[in-house]
């Protein structure tokens, strides 16, 4: 542990961009000084949390019947070429492996920017009969995209860490069910465990995943009023199963094409949202279940009795699978308090002679930035209670902030003000077919914003927002407009 005093105090709402850059550095989440542009070194404090995030997501997927795979990172160029939309959408952002040892390779290999074309050729070998369906897979993987936009740690890196699911179904109906299940998974994990509020949008036709019929994506809102696209789930066109020959023999003995779906929660990018949504002016605030460490014990002095008690408590908590850190460094208690608040550990136990004599524990809660006293003998039950309260608080706070930042906008003039005050605008919109694309272009050019899409359960056009604020035509859809990264 370094001895230098660390204080952190940046107004997250007012100075969000600096807040983010500084906290990533001060809390040692990621280091951008690696000598390949756009590539981040993920440091222990983020990796410990993201490992837990992976665990929760994978457990949920496995419970729903997804089986884990590890596919090769390299995908032959020819696999991409099979589906024309996909090749157009992805090849501009592909890193290519062209040499090995001292020589040139006979063909070019992509570093996977996504793995449909890797999974699909194998699914075509594995799937035989209707009995094999649905065939539900996933993999945890590192993904490479040659981003031309500015990169930002965790939010957009040229290498990131995600889970991708790839499923094959016997009917369009089953495929749609899968898309719904993916959205439920997003709610169960991103909202209920990571504490992130979001809206799932059906993206407009002009903003789909290359090669998909429909794309649904969850948008999370940052304090600067920009949305971050989090997991998206896609109903893939049957053209894919055709070119990759993914067929099954149905009950009627006929060979039929499968319907494909995929879902891609990018854990390292979701981590950015966790940091952004829950953090405050003092630094990080981790949700309980994905905190790198959940409890820090700060012995008030180097007194042997205190250190012994700290060890005892640590062991007791670890038996209950709670991750505990003891800070027995030679820093002052005050410095330790600042440091661990900045690092976002949910609960801190301040341990001194007084506490030991009274058989009590003083617990600092990072959610309320407040102390509570509990009886030492009740430590397990009390920590359990506090952890539950803590998560509830975090989720409630995040939800209410989010809901307060959605605003109905009826006129072009009001759109700019809404967006500049960091809000998501709910508007009536002329059309979501390709002819609405023109109004969407105006939104992009004149407002530096994008049409995020419609909610899955389509909303009715109300009197207040019955005209498209761009072209003034009668509104057919309710869409949301926001700025994005």
209 lies in the site for a copy of itself, by CB under 8 A: no
| Closer residue to a copy of itself in complex, CB, 111/260 | 111
Give helix 304-319 / helix 379-403 axis angle, nearest 10°.
70
Q: Pick from 221, 422, 195, 219: which is nearest to 287 by CA?
A: 195
Residue 81 sits in the site that holds a copy of itself (CB under 8 A): no
Exposure string over 319-336, b if 16+ CB within 10 A, otherwise e = eeebbbbbbbeebeeebb
Stretches 39-47, 399-407, 423-431, 466-474: which one binds a copy of itself (CB under 8 A)?
Answer: 39-47
Return the residues of window 245-284 that contact a copy of itself according to CB under 8 A: none
Q: Which one among 31, 433, 441, 446 touches a copy of itself, defined by CB under 8 A?
A: 31
Nearer to a copy of itself, 47 or 437 (CB): 47
From the list 26, 71, 311, 360, which residue makes contact with a copy of itself (rule: CB under 8 A)?
71
Name the CA dihedral angle for 71, 77, 81, 82, rounded to a multiple of 10 degrees. Answer: -40
The piece of 28-36, 228-236, 417-425, 432-440 that touches a copy of itself (CB under 8 A) is: 28-36
Cα gap 334→298, rounded to integer Å: 10
Closest approach, Cβ 68 to a copy of itself, in A, equals: 4
Q: Is 40 in the site for a copy of itself (CB under 8 A)?
A: yes
- Nearer to a copy of itself by C-beta: 147 or 207? 147
Mark residues 89-108: x for contact with a copy of itself by CB under 8 A, - for none: --xxxxxxxxxxxx-----x
**Tokens standing for 408?**
């109905």
Contact 115, 122 (CB under 8 A): no
In the list 57, 75, 163, 345, the residue contacting a copy of itself (rule: CB under 8 A) is 75
Written as six digits, the tokens of 64 are 């729903």
Both structure tokens of 36? 């390949």
- Alpha-carbon gap, residue 478 to 480, rounded angstroms: 7
CB closer to a copy of itself, 315 vs 371: 315
Q: Which of 22, 26, 64, 69 binds a copy of itself (CB under 8 A)?
A: 69
Which residue, 119 or 213, has its beta carbon nearer to a copy of itself?
A: 119
Based on CB atoms, which residue is closest to a copy of itself, 5 or 353?
Answer: 5
Shortest Cβ 99–a copy of itself spacing (Å) = 4
Tell me the closest approach of the beta carbon of residue 92 to a copy of itself, in angstroms.
5
Judged by CB under 8 A, which of 13, 44, 173, 375 binds a copy of itself?
44
Kindly tell me which of 92 and 334 has the beta carbon lying closer to a copy of itself.
92
Q: Which is nearer to a copy of itself, 42 or 447 (CB)?
A: 42
Distance CA 314, CA 308 (A): 10
Q: Are strands 324-326 and 295-299 parallel, antiparallel or unpaired?
A: parallel
CA gap 203, 215 in Å, rounded:
6
d(CA 2, CA 4): 6
Q: For residue 340, give the nearest of 290, 292, 403 by alpha carbon.
A: 292
Q: In angstroms, what CA-CA distances link 470 with 419, 440, 441?
A: 15, 8, 10
Q: In terms of CB distance, is 68 or 472 closer to a copy of itself?
A: 68
φ, ψ at 8 (rounded to 5°): -135, 125
Both tokens of residue 86? 């996909």
| Residue indicated by tokens 């370094």 | 2
Residue pair 298/327 in contact (Cβ under 8 Å)? The answer is yes
Residues 129-188 that bind a copy of itself (CB under 8 A): 129, 131-132, 142, 144, 146, 148, 159, 161
**For residues 311-370, which are near a copy of itself according to CB under 8 A?**
none
Residue 356: burial class (beta carbons within 10 Å; 0-12, 13-18, 19+)? middle
Kindly determine how many residues on this chain lie close enough to bind a copy of itself according to the rule CB under 8 A: 57
Among 7, 13, 59, 68, which residue interacts with a copy of itself (rule: CB under 8 A)? 68
For a copy of itself, the binding residues (CB under 8 A) are 1-3, 31, 33-36, 39-44, 47-48, 51, 67-76, 79, 91-102, 108-109, 111, 118, 121-122, 125, 128-129, 131-132, 142, 144, 146, 148, 159, 161
């Amino acid at each position: 542990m370094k001895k230098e005093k660390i204080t952190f105090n940046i107004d997250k709402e007012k100075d969000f961009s600096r807040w983010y850059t500084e906290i990533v550095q001060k809390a040692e989440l990621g280091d951008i000084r690696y000598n390949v542009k756009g590539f981040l070194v993920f440091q222990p404090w983020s990796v410990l949390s993201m490992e837990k995030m992976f665990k929760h997501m994978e457990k949920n997927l496995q419970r729903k019947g997804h089986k884990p795979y590890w596919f090769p990172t390299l995908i032959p160029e020819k696999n991409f070429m099979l589906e024309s939309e996909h090749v157009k959408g992805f090849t501009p952002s592909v890193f290519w492996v062209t040499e090995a040892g001292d020589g040139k390779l006979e063909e070019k290999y992509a570093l996977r920017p996504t793995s449909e074309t890797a999974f699909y050729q194998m699914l075509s070998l594995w799937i035989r009969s209707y009995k094999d369906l649905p065939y539900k897979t996933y993999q945890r993987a590192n993904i490479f995209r040659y981003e031309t936009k500015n990169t930002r740690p965790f939010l957009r890196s040229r290498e990131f860490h995600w889970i991708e699911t790839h499923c094959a179904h016997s009917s369009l109906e089953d495929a749609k069910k899968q898309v719904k299940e993916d959205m439920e998974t997003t709610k169960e994990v991103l909202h209920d465990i990571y504490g992130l509020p979001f809206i799932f949008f059906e993206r407009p036709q002009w903003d789909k995943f290359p090669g998909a019929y429909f794309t649904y994506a969850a948008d999370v809102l940052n304090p600067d009023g920009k949305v971050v696209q989090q997991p998206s789930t896609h109903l893939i066109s049957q053209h894919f199963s055709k070119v990759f020959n993914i067929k099954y023999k149905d009950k009627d003995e006929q060979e039929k094409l499968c319907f494909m779906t995929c879902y891609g929660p990018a854990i390292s990018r979701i981590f950015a949202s966790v940091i952004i949504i829950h953090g405050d002016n003092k630094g990080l605030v981790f949700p309980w279940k994905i905190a790198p460490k959940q409890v820090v014990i700060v012995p008030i002095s180097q007194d042997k009795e205190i250190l012994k008690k700290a060890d005892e408590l640590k062991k007791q908590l670890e038996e209950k699978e709670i991750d505990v850190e003891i800070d027995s460094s030679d820093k002052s208690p005050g410095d330790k308090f600042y440091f661990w608040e900045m690092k976002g550990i949910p609960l801190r136990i301040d341990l001194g002679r007084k506490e030991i004599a009274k058989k009590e524990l003083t617990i600092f809660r990072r959610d309320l930035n407040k102390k509570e006293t509990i009886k030492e003998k009740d430590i397990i039950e009390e920590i359990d209670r506090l952890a539950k309260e803590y998560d509830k608080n975090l989720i409630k706070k995040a939800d209410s902030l989010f809901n307060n930042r959605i605003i109905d906008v009826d006129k072009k003039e009001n759109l700019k003000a809404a967006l500049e005050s960091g809000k998501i605008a709910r508007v009536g919109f002329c059309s979501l077919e390709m002819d609405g694309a023109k109004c969407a272009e105006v939104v992009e050019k004149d407002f530096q914003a994008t049409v995020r899409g419609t909610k899955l359960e389509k909303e009715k056009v109300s009197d207040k927002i019955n005209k498209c604020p761009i072209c003034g035509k009668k509104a057919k859809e309710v869409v949301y407009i926001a700025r994005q990264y």
